[in-house]
């Protein structure tokens, strides 16, 4: 099966840097995504990692270590509008011979305070 | 492009009634996904289609749920009969590929309340 773990909640200060961790277990790993979801809205795509290393996109960066089953999302220069849930999601097989599918973690609710 | 369009935005229905949720994917996207989101279980994949063909429906809770995609621009998710535990936000998403680096585009969701 698949298992994705991330902290439930985090709080950080405006202008600071925050790192949201994600660990996963899956069969047939084929990529990891981070999505942002504001309250009452749809998830929106932030980043994609399939190889080990760091992917940078503006204030947001995402890191992947496939051997450790570990990823993190790094948010720099935090702004109030970054208060949202951040969802880690993995492409893998539900079971050994099953089809590939994108499975989401339960999300980390980030609160940015002044 | 108008993005992924879902209707209705909100649905309140009585237990036992039939509910139909609708989705129009982004033109050109070959994959369409139905997800359900609750506080307890997060975002769960119910079913997905590739080129209008259902590929994996192992996430569909039970026979009360059914999904169709009669053409490339329309899909429905039907619950019959509905139960209070079906209350959730149902999202439709579409993409060019299953594991593409551009991610999935989600619709605004349908908030279903079964009383």
One-letter-per-residue 3-state SS of A47-82: EEECCCEEEEECCEEEEEECCCCEEEEEECCCCHHH
Q: Give residue-wise pLDDT tens across range B85-97.
A: 999 999 999 999 9
C-alpha–C-alpha distance, residues B81 and B65, integer Å: 9
Q: Do A43 and B106 touch (CB under 8 A)?
A: yes
CB contact under 8 A, A31 and B91: no
Chain B residues whose C-beta is within 8 A of a chain A C-beta are 33, 35, 41-45, 48, 55-56, 58, 91, 98-99, 101-109
User: A103 in contact with B at a CB cutoff of 8 Å?
Assistant: yes
Residues of chain B contacting residue A105, judged by C-beta atoms under 8 Å apart: 42
Q: 């539900």: which residue's tokens?
A: A94
Contact (CB<8Å) B99/A30: yes
The arithmetic mean of pLDDT across residues A68-94, rounded, is 96
For residue A37, give the nearest of B42, B23, B48 by alpha carbon: B42
- φ/ψ of A18, rounded to 5, equals -135, 145
Write out pLDDT tens, residues A27-40. 889 999 999 999 99
- How high is the mean pLDDT of chain A? 94
Q: What average pLDDT does the structure give for chain B?
A: 95
Chain A, nearest residue to B42 by Cα: A106
Length reported for chain B: 115
Q: Which band of pLDDT confidence, cut at 50, 70 and 90, is reported for residue A96?
A: low
Contacts of B14 (CB under 8 A, 6+ apart): B82, B114, B115
Q: Choosing among A43, A51, A88, which should be mutated to test the B contact, i.e. which has the most B CBs within 10 A?
A: A43
For residue A99, which residues of chain B lie inside 8 Å, CB to CB?
55-56
A102–B contact, CB cutoff 8 A: yes
pLDDT band at residue B1 under the 50/70/90 scheme: low
Average pLDDT over residues A5-30: 96
Residue A1 sits at the chain B interface (C-beta within 8 Å) = no
Cross-chain residue pair B99–A42, CB shorter than 8 Å: no
Contact B7, B111 (CB under 8 A): no
A102 neighbourhood in chain B, CB within 8 Å = 33, 45, 98-99, 104
Phi/psi of residue A10, each to 5°? -145, 150
CB atoms within 10 A of CB B89: 17
Distance CA B110, CA B76 (A): 12
């Amino acid at each position: 099966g698949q298992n994705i773990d991330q902290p439930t909640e985090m709080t950080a200060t405006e202008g600071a840097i925050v790192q949201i961790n994600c660990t996963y277990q899956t069969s047939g790993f084929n990529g990891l995504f981070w999505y942002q979801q504001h309250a009452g809205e749809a998830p929106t795509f932030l980043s994609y990692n399939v190889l080990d290393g760091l992917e940078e996109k503006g204030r947001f960066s995402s890191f992947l270590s496939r051997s450790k089953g570990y990823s993190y999302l790094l948010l720099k220069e935090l702004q109030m509008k970054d208060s949202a849930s951040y969802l880690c999601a993995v492409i893998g097989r539900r079971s050994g011979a099953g089809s590939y599918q994108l499975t989401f973690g339960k999300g980390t609710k980030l609160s940015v305070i002044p | 492009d108008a993005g992924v369009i879902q209707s209705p935005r909100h649905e309140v229905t009585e237990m036992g009634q039939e509910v139909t949720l609708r989705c129009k994917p982004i033109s050109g996207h070959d994959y369409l996904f139905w997800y359900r989101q609750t506080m307890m279980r997060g975002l769960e994949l119910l079913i997905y289609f590739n080129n209008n063909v259902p590929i994996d429906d192992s996430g569909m809770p039970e026979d009360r749920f059914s999904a169709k995609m009669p053409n490339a621009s329309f899909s429905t998710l039907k619950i019959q009969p509905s139960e209070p535990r079906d209350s959730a936000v149902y999202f439709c998403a579409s993409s060019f590929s299953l594991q593409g680096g551009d991610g999935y585009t989600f619709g605004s969701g349908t908030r279903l309340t079964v009383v």
